[in-house]
Every structure is written in structure tokens, then in C-alpha cells.
Amino acid sequence: MKKEVRLCGKDANKLPVKVSRADFNKYIDPYLSRGKRGPKTSISRYKIFNYVLFVLHTGIQWNGLPIFKKEISWSGIYQHHNRWSKDGSYKNLFETSVIFLKDNNKLELSIIHGDGSNTTAKKGVKESDIRDISIRRD
């Protein structure tokens, strides 16, 4: 049974590809961790977050990320993404967003897409299409 999460409003079926500075400052920035040591970044966290969104949207390799005027290296963008991913910043942002949408009646949970593309099979195919090659051990 497939279910889909739907947002109400004009952009209900769109995934964000770029976030405005005002929306970033209001909804996203408070939930992203900041570095405690080392020099400050050369560009704003707003730009870094939009670079991350670009990578996630296009599926481009990190080292192929087109950086505007060489303002930061691709590895700097990746390091921010990796830290935010590992320290729970993204999880906190997601959970807070869902709560905000629910509280403002903008989240509809009647349909959720669950295609199982990341679900591992408990029992795979016993044999391959190629003769004499067994994939699974019994």
C-alpha cells in the first residue's frame, strides 16, 4: 500500500532546489550546528546550504560541484554537509519542520510513498540467471 506525504499550498509537489535567504534565516539556520574551532568560513552558511541542496537535487559528485568564483572548495561544502548529517542537525531540522507543518495544518499524512527502494530483501533469489552460479547460500 503506497502512501504519500502531501503539503498544502501552491508549492505542495515541489522539492526545494534553492532556499531564499529569508526562509533560510527563519526556518533552517537555527537548527544547523556551527563549528566551535578553527577559522570562520569564507562564505555564508546560506550559500553552503544551497550548494548542498544543489548536490542532493542533481546527484552530481561532490568534486564536480560548480563553485561560483571559487569562493569555497567542494570539500568545504562536503565537510559542512557531513557534520550536519552526523551531529543530528538535519534530523532536528526535519522533525521540527514536520511539527511546524502539522501545527499549522499544512501537513497531510493520508498518503505516504513507500516504494521500498531502500528495503533489503530477507530472502533473495536462490540462483542467478547464469547457470552454475549460486548467489545465496542455504
Q: What is the sign of the dihedral through the CA atoms of 35, 40, 44 and 68? A: negative
Q: Which of 21, 72, 22 lies closest to 50 in space, CA to CA?
A: 21
Question: Radius of gyration (Cα) for the chain, nearest Å?
Answer: 20
Residue 2's pLDDT band (cuts 50, 70, 90):
very low
CA 74, CA 7: separation in Å to the nearest integer?
32
CA 70, CA 51: separation in Å to the nearest integer?
13
Domain ranges of the chain: 6-108
> Tens digits of per-residue pLDDT, 33-92?
998 888 888 899 999 999 999 999 899 999 999 998 889 999 999 999 999 999 999 999
Task: Say if pTM beats, i.e. exceeds, 0.75.
Answer: no
Residue 71: its pLDDT value, please?
92
Residue 37: its pLDDT value, please?
87
